[in-house]
Structure formats: structure tokens, C-alpha cells
Amino acid sequence: MAKRKGSMLADIAGEDCKLEMTPMIDVTFLLLIFFMCTLKFKTLEGKLSAFLPKDVGVNQSEAEPKEKIEIRMDVKNPGNRVRPGAGNVAYTAQDEAERKRYVYDSSRVITFSVGAKKTTDLEEVRKTLTNFYAQDKTRPATIDPRAGIITSDVVELLDVALDVGFTDITFVGSYEK
């Protein structure tokens, strides 16, 4: 029996029958590329946590509320609207009518008021916040964005505040009234 099997294998080997690998490799590459694309897409996003004032109804918390660090954001210079991408191509009325995307150029300046201190430099804000955080690590902070502030301005500030160590960050709204 064993002899019979051996000779059979020898027969097959003698036939010189090769498995066609090309389509297999094609499919494998296809799958590989697909998974590479999707993985990249999913790791791209992150999130920043913040809170809203919890003052629904009567405030029943008995603890003495801590004094909050108020950070107010105002637009000093809105900057120019340009088309996304390189070259600072001006954003036209036509683009606006078509609801195309725009970004602000580097001339945009935001004033940050941390308590009584006003600055347009985010690194200055980082220093001030680091000082406050060193004094009290549980102190809450509030962000108060005023008229004209866009999401990326707020995210920049929130990013700095979270990096310094603040965890209790609340948005307070004057809602541009």
C-alpha cells in the first residue's frame, strides 16, 4: 500500500503540475490594501472631553463651589478666508454660494483673557494655566468663546488646557446674544 502511494506521488511530481499563484497574490494584495486603507482611516480621529454647566433645577450640591478659571476668547483679527490647500487662494462669493469649504489664513488673531490677563499668544496662556494648575490641581476652568470664534480656535485652547492637566473644563455660553 505504502509503495503504491509513493509511486503515485512520484507520478504527480513527474507531471510537473504547478499551482497558478498569480490570482492568489492578486487577491491577497487587494485585501491587504483594503485593510491598510481602513485602518488608517479609523486611527485618524481623536476626541477631547469637556462639559456643559450642570445647573439644571436647583443646585443641590453642598460642597463649596471652587472659584473657576475663566478663559474668554475674542476675535481680534478675523483674518481672510482662503480656499483650503496651498497658495492662499481667496475665497470668493461664488464659492460661498456653492457652500464650498474655506479656512482662515495666518493673519487670524485671537485674544485669550485668562482671568485679568490678556494675550494673543497661546504659549502665554499655557504658562498662565500651568501656574494655576500647580496651585490647585482640581480647580475647574471655563471656556467662554465669543462672536466669530471658530471650532479650530476652541480646540486649540482646549488642547492646551487638557495638556496642562485640567480635567474639569466647562463651556459657558454667552451664545453671542
- The pair phi, psi for residue 25, each rounded to 5°, is -65, -40
**Partners of 90 in the β-ladder:** 82
For the record, the C-alpha cell of 152 comes out as: 479650530
The residue among 27 and 89 lying less far from another protein, judged by its C-beta, is 27
Q: Looking at 64-72, 109-117, 122-130, 156-164, which segment touches another protein (CB under 8 A)?
A: 156-164
Compute the distance between CA of residue 172 and CA of residue 144 in angstroms, rounded to an integer.
5
Minimum CB distance to another protein, residue 145 (Å): 5
Minimum CB distance to another protein, residue 115 (Å): 21
Dihedral of CA 160/161/167/171: which sign? negative
Compute the distance between CA of residue 4 and CA of residue 92 in angstroms, rounded to an integer.
84
Minimum CB distance to another protein, residue 139 (Å): 19
The residue among 21 and 116 lying less far from another protein, judged by its C-beta, is 21
Minimum CB distance to another protein, residue 102 (Å): 6
Residue 122 CB: number of other CB atoms within 10 A?
A: 14
Scanning residues 77 to 136, which ones bind another protein (CB under 8 A)? Answer: 84, 99, 101-104
Q: Are strands 141-145 and 169-171 parallel, antiparallel or unpaired?
A: parallel
Minimum CB distance to another protein, residue 19 (Å): 8
Compute the distance between CA of residue 145 and CA of residue 147 in angstroms, rounded to an integer.
7
Q: Which residues bind another protein (CB under 8 A)?
A: 8, 11, 14-15, 17, 20, 23, 26-27, 30-31, 34, 38, 42-54, 56-57, 60-61, 84, 99, 101-104, 145, 147-156, 158-159, 162-163, 171, 173, 175-176
